[in-house]
Chain A
Amino acid sequence: MRDGYGEAMVEMARNNPRVVVLIADLLESLKLAEFKKEFPKRTIEVGIQEQNMMGMAGGLALSGKIPFVNSFACFSPGRNWEQLRISVCLTKNNVKVIGGHAGFGNGADGANQQSFEDIAITRVLPGMTVLVPADYEQVKKAVWRMAELEGPIYMRMTKPAREVMTTRTTPFEIGKAQVFREGRDVTVFACGAMVYEAMMVAKELAGTVEVEVINIHTIKPLDIEAVVRSARKTGKVVTAEEHSIIGGLGSAVAEALGENFPVPMRRVGMRDTFGESGEPEELMKKYGLTKNEIIKEIKKLINKNE
Chain B
Amino acid sequence: MEVKANEIRVEVIKMLVEAETGHPAGALGSADFWTLLYLGGLIKVYPQDPWNEERDRVVLSAGHYCPVLYAVLAEAGFFPKEELSSLRKIDSRLQGHPVARMLPGVENSSGPLGQGISVAVGMALAARMDNKKYRVICFMGDGEQNEGQVWEAYMSAAKYKLSNLTVVIDRNNIQIDGHTEEVMPLEPLGEKLKSFGFEVMEIDGHNMQEIAETMDKAKVYFEKPSAIILRTIPGKNVDFMENDYAWHGRAPGMGETVQALMEIRKVRTLGGRVAND
> What residues make up the interface of A, taking CB atoms closer than 8 Å to B?
20, 41-42, 44, 46-47, 49, 51-65, 67, 82-83, 86-87, 90-93
Residues of chain B with a CB closer than 8 A to A82's CB: 112, 115
Q: By the criterion CB–CB under 8 Å, are B153 and A55 in contact? A: yes
Is B120 an interface position by the 8 A CB rule? Answer: yes
A151 to chain B, nearest CB (A): 14
Task: Give the top 3 A-B pairs by smallest Cβ distance, nearest first.
Answer: A59-B122, A55-B118, A63-B126
Query: For A65, what are the chain B residues with a Cβ–Cβ distance below 8 Å?
Result: 126, 129
Contacting residue for B149 out of A55, A59, A63, A67, CB 8 A: A55
Closest to A65 in B: B126
Rounded to whole angstroms, the CA-CA distance of A56 and B153 in the bound complex is 8
Specify the chain B residue showing the minimal Cβ separation from A55. B118
For B129, list chain A residues within 8 Å (CB): 20, 41-42, 65
Establish whether residues B100 and A52, one from each chain, have CB atoms under 8 Å apart when the complex forms.
no
Residue from A54, A56, A58 having most chain B Cβ neighbours under 10 A: A56
Binding site for A on B (CB under 8 A): 59, 99-101, 107-112, 114-127, 129-130, 148-149, 152-153, 155-156
Report the bound CA distance from A92 to B41 in whole Å.
30
**Which B residues touch A42, using CB under 8 A?**
129
Complex CA gap A62/B127 in Å reads 11
Taking CB atoms, residues of chain A closer than 8 Å to B155 are 47, 49, 52
Residue of B59, B101, B108, B124 contacting most chain A CB atoms (<10 Å) = B108
| Contacting residues, chain B, for A58 (C-beta < 8 A) | 108, 115, 118-119, 122
Which of A42, A49, A52 gathers most chain B CB within 10 Å? A52
Using A46-B156, A56-B119, A87-B108 as known contacts, say yes or no to A51 and B149 having CB atoms under 8 A apart. yes
A83-B156 CB under 8 A given contacts A55-B118, A63-B126: no
Chain B residues lying within 8 Å of A54, measured Cβ to Cβ, are 118
Which of chain A's residues has its CB closest to B110's CB? A86
Q: Known A46-B156, A82-B112; judge A87-B118 contact (CB<8 A).
A: yes
Q: Are B100 and A59 in contact (CB under 8 A)?
A: no
- Count chain A CB atoms within 10 A of each CB in B100, B118, B124, B149 and give the residue with the most: B118
Q: Is the CB of A55 within 8 A of B112?
A: no
Given known contacts A46-B156, A55-B117, A56-B156, A86 and B122 CB-to-CB distance under 8 angstroms: no
Given A59-B118, A83-B118, A91:B123 Cβ within 8 A? no
Q: Are B122 and A56 in contact (CB under 8 A)?
A: yes
Chain A residues closer than 8 Å to B109, beta-carbon distance: 86-87, 90-91
**Residues on A with beta carbons closer than 8 Å to the beta carbon of B112:** 82, 86
Q: Which of B99, B107, B114, B130 contacts A62 (CB 8 A)?
A: B107
Contact between B100 and A62, CB atoms less than 8 A apart: yes
CA A139 to CA B126, docked complex, whole Å = 27
Give the distance in Å from the alpha carbon of A61 to the alpha carbon of B109 in the complex.
13
| B120 nearest in chain A by CB position | A59
Assuming the contacts A49-B155, A90-B100, A91-B100, asked whether A83 and B149 have C-beta atoms less than 8 A apart, the reply is yes
Q: How far is the CB of A58 from chain B (nearest CB, A)?
A: 5
> Which of chain A's residues have a CB closer than 8 A to the CB of B121?
52, 55-56, 59
A63 surroundings in chain B (CB, below 8 A) = 122-123, 126-127, 130
Say whether, besides A41-B129, A62-B107, A92-B100, A55 and B115 are in contact (CB < 8 Å): yes
- Among the listed A41, A51, A62, which residue makes an inter-chain contact with B122, where contact means beta carbons less than 8 Å apart? A62
* A60 touches which of B123, B149, B152 (Cβ 8 Å): B123
Taken together as a complex, chains A and B put the C-alpha atoms of A57 and B121 apart, in Å, by 9
State A68–B108 Cα separation when bound (angstroms): 19
Q: A51 contacts B108, CB within 8 Å?
A: no
CB of B225, distance to nearest CB on chain A (Å): 14
Query: Which residue of the partner chain A has the closest CB to B100?
Result: A91
Bound Cα distance A93, B129 (Å): 19
- What are the residues of chain B within 8 A of A86 when measuring CB–CB? 109-112, 115
Smallest Cβ-Cβ distance to A49: which chain B residue: B152
Determine whether the beta carbon of A62 is less than 8 Å from that of B119: yes
Q: Could you say which residues of chain B place their CB within 8 Å of the CB of A59?
A: 59, 108, 118-126
The residues of A that contact B122 with a CB separation of less than 8 Å are: 55-63, 67
Which A residues are in CB contact (< 8 Å) with B108? 58-59, 62, 87, 91
Question: A92 contacts which chain B residues (CB < 8 A)?
Answer: 100-101
The verdict on A64 contacting B126 (CB below 8 Å), with A51-B152, A86-B112 known, is yes
Alpha-carbon gap, A60 to B127, bound state (A): 9
Give Cα distance in the complex from A293 to B128, angstroms.
53
B residues near A44, Cβ cutoff 8 Å:
125
Residues of B with C-beta under 8 A to A49: 149, 152, 155-156
Seed contacts A44-B125, A67-B122; 10 additional CB < 8 Å A-B pairs: A51-B114, A51-B148, A55-B117, A59-B122, A62-B107, A62-B108, A62-B122, A65-B126, A87-B109, A91-B99
